[in-house]
Amino acid sequence: MTDTAAAAPTAPPAIVVVVEDEALIAMLVADALADAGYRPACTPDGRTGVPAPGSGPDAAAAVVDLRLADGLDGRWVVRDLRERRPDLPVVVTTGFHPEAPQADLRGLGGPTLRLCKPFDGEQLAGGVAAVIGAPAVSETPRRRRSDVQK
């Protein structure tokens, strides 16, 4: 008797690019992603790391810190990644309050999800799964409240 499930090929783990300049946090993020079944590809910043390993067409998503070393803005990294992959799902991690101007993610396209620090591995894995499964968002202007018909 043969076990057909054991003979079936399995897909390789989905690659998730991690752009994080703090080594300890990058390791924790990578471990959480690996525990969730992803294959993390870490890079410390957008200047030396983009294109990062896996940031091409084979990346399933990216996790990008909003504030990187030397004042590098994570929004720039997201825009750079999306020049190559407009539909790349991204989880942006930040210590800024969601309503702080520094945490504004408008104009980055989608799917994009903000994950506020501190977060745990389960929240990170859930966020990555959510953006991977989310439809791409078109960059259409938001309607003003006065444009909505009652």
Any idea what the CATH number is for the domain that residue 110 is in? 3.40.50.2300
**Per-residue pLDDT at 18:** 93
Nearest Cα to 132, choosing from 6, 4, 16, 10? 16
**Domain assignment of residue 79, yes or no:** yes
pLDDT over 90 (residue 142): no
**Domain assignment of residue 61, yes or no:** yes
**Domain assignment of residue 51, yes or no:** yes
pTM of the model: 0.78
**Domain assignment of residue 111, yes or no:** yes
pLDDT over 70 (residue 34): yes
How many of the other CB atoms lie within 10 Å of CB of 50?
18
Q: How many angstroms separate the CA atoms of 131 and 20, rounded? A: 18
**Domain assignment of residue 150, yes or no:** no
**Domain assignment of residue 2, yes or no:** no
**Domain assignment of residue 85, yes or no:** yes
The two structure tokens encoding residue 57 = 């067409």
How many domains are there within the chain? Answer: 1
> How would you label 98-129 residue by residue, b for 16+ Cβ within 10 Å and e otherwise?
eeeeebebeebbbbbbbbeeebeeeebbbbbb
Is the separation of the CB atoms in 114 and 75 below 8 Å?
no
**Domain assignment of residue 115, yes or no:** yes
Q: How far is CA 68 from CA 2, 22, 95, 134, in A?
A: 52, 8, 12, 26
Q: How many angstroms separate the CA atoms of 40 and 93, rounded? A: 15
Residue position matching structure tokens 């910043």: 45
Is the separation of the CB atoms in 112 and 131 below 8 Å?
yes
Domain with 73, as residue range(s), is 11-135
Nearest Cα to 90, choosing from 71, 100, 76? 76
Which tens digit of pLDDT belongs to each residue from 66-113? 988 877 888 988 988 888 888 899 999 998 888 888 888 888 888 999
